[in-house]
Structure 1
Amino acid sequence: MADLIKTNRRDFLKIAGTAAGGLFIGFYWSGCDSPKMQVLSDDEVLAQAHNFNAFLSISPSGDVVIYSPNPELGQNIKTSFPMVVAEELDADWEKVRVFQANLDNDKFDRQLTGGSGAMPHSWERLRKAGATARHLLLVAAASQLEVDMDELATEKGEVIHKKSGKKIAYGDLVADASQLEAPEDVSLKHHKDFKIIGTPVKNVDNKAMFTGKPLFGLDFYREGMVNAMIQRPPFGMKIKSVDDSEAKKVPGVTDVVTFNNNVAIVGNTTWPLLKAKKLLKVTYEPDGTVESTEDHDRLFVELMDKGKAQVMRKDGNVDQAFSKAAKVVSAEYQCPFLSHSPMEPQNFFAHVKGDKVELVGPTQTPDRARMETAQLLDIPTENVSVEITRLGGGFGRRLRADFVVEAAELSKILNKPVKVTWSREDDMTGGAYRPAVRYKFQAALDEEGNMIGYKLRGVGINAGNTTRENNFPSGSVDNLLIESVNHSSPITTNAWRAPITNFLAYAEQSFIDEVALAVDKDPVKFRLELLDRAKNNPVGEIHYDVDRMKTVVETAAEKSNWGKDANVMQGFSVYFSHRSYVAQVANIEMENNQPVLKKITAVTDCGIVVNPTGANQQVRGGIVDGMGHAMFTNMTFKDGLPTQKNFDTYRLIRMKEVPEVDVHFIDNGIDPTGLGEPALPPTGGAIANAIYKATGKRLRSQPFIEQKEFSEFNLEIKRV
């Protein structure tokens, strides 16, 4: 038999019994024990599909039904989760049916999408679900054939007697298997024996998306519901007066409601609501501080020098190191607020029925949506149901529940089912942006060019901790001080894809290049020297895996032919975030005295790659996202309102601007780590370092195209 890994069943709910011929295996992500398996017929499983979240079912026909519990927003979890279950089950993937599970805290733990944590969290739990079912099927087959289990194997939904070649389909075993008690221990495959995991599998929603089937929140419709669009105030302002007389005259508008500092236009369809919203006359007055970008620029300067900082990490004697330094390198980097700008603007359906609420829509945190709704309406959380649709992007914006609570509150006021839809302008101006941050770096160098001291101070606008104090180069420098300063602002912020590291990585990696060049060292070799010091003489705690980081650095240098072509100007960047490691090299060539970005090489260590197709897309998408926002996007404020309100002024990267991207993965057999976010952080640094190599211009602020150092060149993005 295949090389097996032993594990315990403690994360499972196992219930056994008999019914009309189907096998139902319920299992908890969080952990519990129960002695038996519950059996439901295939019809019962399908009829109750929306009510069961954590289960694997097999019908007498051999069809396998797997529910995916985490919200799907493009990170491929709805495909990769079932692949893991099907792998251990030895299912025939062609017979696997995948359904999106709804919120169920009794059966799921961490039923959310964020932090690139879904697969690392659920990896073993998913495997146990499939392996437990496979074991019971083998026991049933051994009984039917009157042979030892060791004589049996499984493949593509069948149990095979190796000596005789006789095969029994899973569907023919479910009635007997369902009566068996699950084992205390279950064996998992060794990764070398995987047949589904590691193979390219198409997204399970592809056909529905291509044919326009309803999947997304915007697609949801309920007979009898009303639609609503909402006018929200500028940040730091409150309503003074509302004149809705002209808005009410628009055909199709049924009501105008002022609530909670908002004004809602209500009607049967969204088109008249868009028109009526423009006719609203709302005046505002200050309700605290009203801020503009000029205020933030001033605050950055003041707080960098005088702000009271929180010490996040301190190693050694930093003051002494800098007083003895042969050379000190200093630089400051700054990034703006950014909108998440998912393709699907925020929307949600709510129906408040007495002390019960039905919620339907795209959310990254269904439990948060439930809890905040229950808190608003002062009802038990168990009285709130949440149905999760597919998300048309999120990037952290849908971690919040403000748009959900709006729908619930409005449904309560109107005593009707309500679907609230945000326009693109609402989405841009409605808040929860990436925080604006400024960093000051200082490095102390000795006579031999070794970095003996390192300082980082981050100042953020509603950023919380502006640093990731335990990331590289922490642990590789004897004397290190990392501090954070936060300014509280009425402008709301939220996690934005790869929170904090989305800009910090660019700033850190650009500064490390500055230090390397100041001592005339190759940037890749300089990083490897620091990693060797962290490996051989670590300072304080090391929170990253030095060997994994070194491997991606060395592999990226190899795959990109680092430094081997004099006509190619290369920039390097490497970063650890969300448990994974990504190194990137950007290639720029000069054409007609202008720098042309030709290629980005990326090497990723995210452990075992479940689905190469999805993983490849995640890396490419992260690079495009990181590149586009580093180069083009900016959000500024005037009197509490964003200056940019739509894509005509909020510049996103275009398809024709995406260069060649060469993607590689490290195959090390480690359990999967995060992948939805880690490819984004290194991109800005790789490009900026390549631009410096090609032009001698150091870009210390984003977006690049708005920097005076950049204005002398027209960086051409060549699509290959």
Structure 2
Amino acid sequence: MSATSASITFSRRNFLRTSSLASGGLLIGFNLFTACKSDVKPPIDLAELNYKDFNAFIKIAKNGAVTIFSPNPEIGQGVKTAMPMIIAEELDVAWDKVLVEQGVLDTENYTRQVAGGSQSIRFSWDALRQTGATAKQMLVNAAAAKWGVDASELSVSEGVITNAAGKTLGYGDVVDAAAKLEIPENVVLKEPKDYKIIGTDQVNVDIDKIITGKPLFGLDYKVDGMVYAAVLRPPAFGQELESYDATEAKTMPGVIDVIKIGEKAKALLGKEEINWTAQLSPSEKVVVIAKTTWDAFKAKKAIKAQWKDTSTLESTEYQDKKLNDLLDGKEFTTLREDGDVNKAFAQADNVLERTYESPFLPHNCMEPMNFFAHVTDKKIHLVGPIQTPEDAANTVAELLGRDVKDIHLEMTRQGGGFGRRLYGDFVYEAAEIADAIRKPVKMVSSREDDMTTGVYRPAIKYRIKAAIKGGKLTGYQLKEAAINGNMYGLIPNFFPAGAVENYRVDVANYESNITTGAWRAPYTNFLAYAEQSFFDEIAEAMDMDKVQLRLDLLEKVKGTTDERIQYNPERLQAVLKMAVDKSGWGKAPEGTYQGVVAYYCHNSHVAEVADVQIENGMPVVKKVTCVVDCGIVINPLGAKNQIVGGVIDGVGHAMYGQFGFKDGVPSSNNYDTYRLIRMNEAPVVDAYMIQNELSPTGLGEPALPPAGGAVANALRAATGKRIYKQPFMEDLDFWRVEEKEIIG
């Protein structure tokens, strides 16, 4: 849906208002709905839409102060700043006069309180604007009634209503009267040219608290009488607790008790109604309750536990063989098939086939997993960092046999999520501990706990095959072999779907006892590198310019009537052309080698160009030029931060991220053995955004997947060598080149 001015029709029964706030004032919310399709034109009858999203709230006090509640979890993606900006724009208040508060879990007035998939702004854009515009119209109507004039005669600017005679009223002057009025059925949204807040650089609303160390994060939360818990989990995947001796641990300073949990969680395993984010463990666990986290951590090491093997203790070699067997086998699920791929390969002049592989990856959130819980007969109080608070509350209710209405869940700011905090295993541990001891308790994991007993990006292999006949790409087949599955959903309908007449996507997986799940930019974080690297090989095989190949393929998709296609070929072409222009593609100075990609994921279109130089015989990523089309940019400053962070994260994990298993035990347990990109290795990122008036899409994740492909293609230009396995720098000798070997 375009962001242009619109007359919006409202359904009274779906608009919530109340003036019964303890502080006095007006509280307004509007049910958000699934984002409109781009061809839907206003006016919109909201009563006919599917109300499955959440409510946004505005609080206006009698003194004119405006508080805007941000209902979605804040994990660093900036929604706690951007979502209130949208409401404030249509409400027409001065941004520097707005207070922002984190909403709590409220399933009656909010839905889709989720941080994941870069969808928060996309899903909420239209309804957040309508919320602000409706509140503004109610205030204007109240002022008009007070003055005895028509509302159309009044103007509003930064919370001040003015009539034709020049008299003014502040929002606080009419807030009580506004609360008693009928909800207007038609409101007019602003034209983008009239925006005063949207499109301006705004600092993070929490920045002062962050830099001064004020309590914001889950680890900061404390209450009187709170104790701390450390959980001893199985040391290897495929093991369960057999017995334990806590005699020594119980005598250590600060230790209150040592208990066992897990029976309640095991009882829920296999139940169909348990949501996909549960990640419940099949093993019982030993828990140390202590006066401090340090006391709990020390005592946990003193516990003598016996573990029994209950399934295969997998090693990286075992997993590698399993994935190869899947690729070589015939048991695949076909997700999309166009034309006749087998015929295209049989008739081809040239068939190109490559296999790409990636390892498991941990999430490495700076803030380790933690959660607060206090269980009483009357209430369950939960506080902490979770990306899926509603799922967590529902599962805790099932776990403890309680009504979900008994649960009060507060969300803290999160020190990183990247998909790890979609899964509530640490929440359920805290809840089960609190239920057992009936004291307020904070469960805290160490870095080692996080890295060795967490949820990982699954190891994956892709086999991609292309048919070339008469100088044209006539066939394309993508096979995926993943541990615990990976590529279900919309991925088969991303580029190059629709651009190749004969096209097929097949997937296969084997079930592992290692817990896997979403990792930043799920599905595409590795696929983008594999496909975009393969496109360069196709261009080389066809003796064709790499940029032109992509532009030509996208040209074939223009005007398609295939509703399965998710990307927009014109928008993808536009970001690619701008990236080529801004990066000086093909004009790099001597000694600088470039790689280019164009990719669509999480509803946004991205193109990147990486610049690589050889220093002391080793390749160094010096710069990445990134161009993004994500529709209207709410907060350019926050958007650029997301782009820069996503690119550096993508480069770092593609170059260095390595993680495996030996007999079910992770190969690394802390940063001394797990390689992350270092500050002096981070490239300069030049971020650009296409300016348009289209509704906003995702931005927290789309810049990450293309980065690996851009770097891989630049490394090929610099060294003459192709990479088929991440991390790229695993074999340093492979990359150490002499000056004479550089082919340019």
Per the shorter chain, which TM-score range? over 0.9
Q: How does 1:65-76 map to 2 (within 5 A)?
A: 65-76=67-78
**Map of 1:263 onto structure 2:** 286
2:440 and 2:738 map into 1 onto residues whose CA distance is: 52
The one-letter amino acid paired with 2:206 is: D
Q: Which stretch shifts more, 241-250 or 471-480?
A: 241-250
**Map of 1:25 onto structure 2:** 28
Select the residue among 694, 717, 720 that pairs with 1:670.
694
The one-letter amino acid paired with 1:457 is: K
Judging changes above 3 Å, is the alpha-carbon distance between structure 1 residues 222 and 21 closer, same or farther for their aligned structure 2 residues? Answer: closer
Judging changes above 3 Å, is the alpha-carbon distance between structure 1 residues 713 and 646 closer, same or farther for their aligned structure 2 residues? Answer: farther
Select the residue among 394, 399, 403 that pairs with 1:380.
403
Structure 1 unpaired stretches of 5+: 35-51, 716-720
2:4 and 2:500 map into 1 onto residues whose CA distance is: 43
SS of the residue corresponding to residue 100 of structure 2 reads strand
Q: How does 1:269-288 map to 2 (within 5 A)?
A: 269-288=292-311
The one-letter amino acid paired with 1:535 is: K
SS of the residue corresponding to residue 469 of structure 1 reads helix
TM-score (norm 2): 0.90
1:687 and 1:415 map into 2 onto residues whose CA distance is: 53
Q: CA deviation at 1:16?
A: 6.2
Q: Does 1:474 align with 2:500?
A: no
Judging changes above 3 Å, is the alpha-carbon distance between structure 1 residues 561 and 637 closer, same or farther for their aligned structure 2 residues? Answer: same
The one-letter amino acid paired with 1:288 is: S
Alignment check: 8 A CA contact 1:14 1:26 kept: yes
Q: How does 1:137-216 map to 2 (within 5 A)?
A: 137-161=139-163, 163-216=164-217
Q: CA deviation at 1:71?
A: 0.5
Select the residue among 499, 504, 507 that pairs with 1:484.
507
Q: How does 1:415-430 map to 2 (within 5 A)?
A: 415-430=438-453
Q: CA deviation at 1:590?
A: 4.1
2:130 and 2:562 map into 1 onto residues whose CA distance is: 39
2:318 and 2:617 map into 1 onto residues whose CA distance is: 39
Q: CA deviation at 1:269?
A: 0.4
Select the residue among 577, 590, 603 that pairs with 1:579.
603
SS of the residue corresponding to residue 705 of structure 1 reads coil
Q: CA deviation at 1:406?
A: 0.4
Judging changes above 3 Å, is the alpha-carbon distance between structure 1 residues 427 and 307 closer, same or farther for their aligned structure 2 residues? Answer: farther
Judging changes above 3 Å, is the alpha-carbon distance between structure 1 residues 213 and 304 closer, same or farther for their aligned structure 2 residues? Answer: same
Q: How does 1:123-522 map to 2 (within 5 A)?
A: 123-161=125-163, 163-233=164-234, 234-260=236-262, 261-306=284-329, 308-354=331-377, 356-448=379-471, 450-465=472-487, 468-522=491-545
Alignment check: 8 A CA contact 1:103 1:111 kept: yes
Judging changes above 3 Å, is the alpha-carbon distance between structure 1 residues 18 and 472 closer, same or farther for their aligned structure 2 residues? Answer: closer
Q: CA deviation at 1:481?
A: 1.5
1:541 and 1:413 map into 2 onto residues whose CA distance is: 50
SS of the residue corresponding to residue 627 of structure 1 reads helix
1:240 and 1:442 map into 2 onto residues whose CA distance is: 48
Q: Which stretch shifts more, 8-17 or 399-408?
A: 8-17
2:440 and 2:371 map into 1 onto residues whose CA distance is: 11
Alignment check: 8 A CA contact 2:32 2:55 kept: no
1:477 and 1:243 map into 2 onto residues whose CA distance is: 63
The one-letter amino acid paired with 1:669 is: E
**Map of 1:653 onto structure 2:** 677
SS of the residue corresponding to residue 207 of structure 1 reads helix
SS of the residue corresponding to residue 601 of structure 1 reads strand
1:362 and 1:689 map into 2 onto residues whose CA distance is: 38
User: What is the number of equivalent residue pairs in this alignment?
Assistant: 695
Q: CA deviation at 1:150?
A: 2.8
Judging changes above 3 Å, is the alpha-carbon distance between structure 1 residues 586 and 464 closer, same or farther for their aligned structure 2 residues? Answer: closer
Q: Which stretch shifts more, 335-344 or 563-572?
A: 563-572
Judging changes above 3 Å, is the alpha-carbon distance between structure 1 residues 120 and 636 closer, same or farther for their aligned structure 2 residues? Answer: same
**Map of 1:62 onto structure 2:** 64
2:734 and 2:606 map into 1 onto residues whose CA distance is: 26
The one-letter amino acid paired with 2:222 is: Y
**Map of 2:280 onto structure 1:** none
2:18 and 2:118 map into 1 onto residues whose CA distance is: 35
Structure 2 unpaired stretches of 5+: 35-44, 48-53, 263-283, 740-744
Alignment check: 8 A CA contact 2:621 2:681 kept: no
Alignment check: 8 A CA contact 2:10 2:185 kept: yes
Q: CA deviation at 1:174?
A: 1.6
**Map of 2:42 onto structure 1:** none
Query: Between the two proteins, what is the percent identity of the paired residues?
Result: 48
Q: Which stretch shifts more, 245-254 or 52-61?
A: 52-61
Judging changes above 3 Å, is the alpha-carbon distance between structure 1 residues 582 and 376 closer, same or farther for their aligned structure 2 residues? Answer: same
Select the residue among 561, 566, 574 that pairs with 2:584.
561
Q: How does 1:590-605 map to 2 (within 5 A)?
A: 590-591=614-615, 594-605=618-629
Select the residue among 697, 700, 713 that pairs with 2:724.
700
Q: Does 1:624 align with 2:628?
A: no
Alignment check: 8 A CA contact 1:315 1:539 kept: no
The one-letter amino acid paired with 1:358 is: H
Alignment check: 8 A CA contact 2:605 2:630 kept: yes
The one-letter amino acid paired with 1:514 is: E
1:18 and 1:140 map into 2 onto residues whose CA distance is: 18
**Map of 1:105 onto structure 2:** 107
- CA distances 1:353-385 after superposition (whole Å, capped 9, x unpaired): 126311111100001110110111112211112
**Map of 2:86 onto structure 1:** 84
1:124 and 1:12 map into 2 onto residues whose CA distance is: 15
Q: Does 1:95 align with 2:97?
A: yes
Q: CA deviation at 1:157?
A: 1.2
Q: CA deviation at 1:539?
A: 7.3
2:466 and 2:736 map into 1 onto residues whose CA distance is: 29
Judging changes above 3 Å, is the alpha-carbon distance between structure 1 residues 8 and 244 closer, same or farther for their aligned structure 2 residues? Answer: same
Q: Which stretch shifts more, 378-387 or 665-674?
A: 378-387
Alignment check: 8 A CA contact 1:436 1:463 kept: no
Q: Which stretch shifts more, 152-161 or 657-666?
A: 152-161
The one-letter amino acid paired with 1:587 is: D
SS of the residue corresponding to residue 328 of structure 1 reads strand
Q: CA deviation at 1:614?
A: 0.7
Q: CA deviation at 1:143?
A: 3.0
Q: Which stretch shifts more, 482-491 or 13-22?
A: 13-22
2:9 and 2:640 map into 1 onto residues whose CA distance is: 33
2:554 and 2:132 map into 1 onto residues whose CA distance is: 40
The one-letter amino acid paired with 2:216 is: L
Alignment check: 8 A CA contact 1:454 1:477 kept: yes
Q: CA deviation at 1:30?
A: 5.5
Alignment check: 8 A CA contact 2:4 2:192 kept: no
RMSD: 2.2
The one-letter amino acid paired with 1:231 is: L
Q: Which stretch shifts more, 83-92 or 222-231?
A: 222-231
- CA distances 1:240-271 after superposition (whole Å, capped 9, x unpaired): 22122222221111111122221111101011
Alignment check: 8 A CA contact 1:699 1:710 kept: no
Alignment check: 8 A CA contact 1:572 1:689 kept: yes
1:246 and 1:657 map into 2 onto residues whose CA distance is: 46
Q: CA deviation at 1:509?
A: 0.5
2:190 and 2:121 map into 1 onto residues whose CA distance is: 17
Alignment check: 8 A CA contact 1:458 1:466 kept: no
TM-score (norm 1): 0.93
**Map of 1:523 onto structure 2:** 546
The one-letter amino acid paired with 1:416 is: K
Alignment check: 8 A CA contact 2:384 2:410 kept: yes
Q: CA deviation at 1:390?
A: 0.8
**Map of 2:39 onto structure 1:** none
Q: CA deviation at 1:593?
A: 5.5
Alignment check: 8 A CA contact 1:463 1:493 kept: no
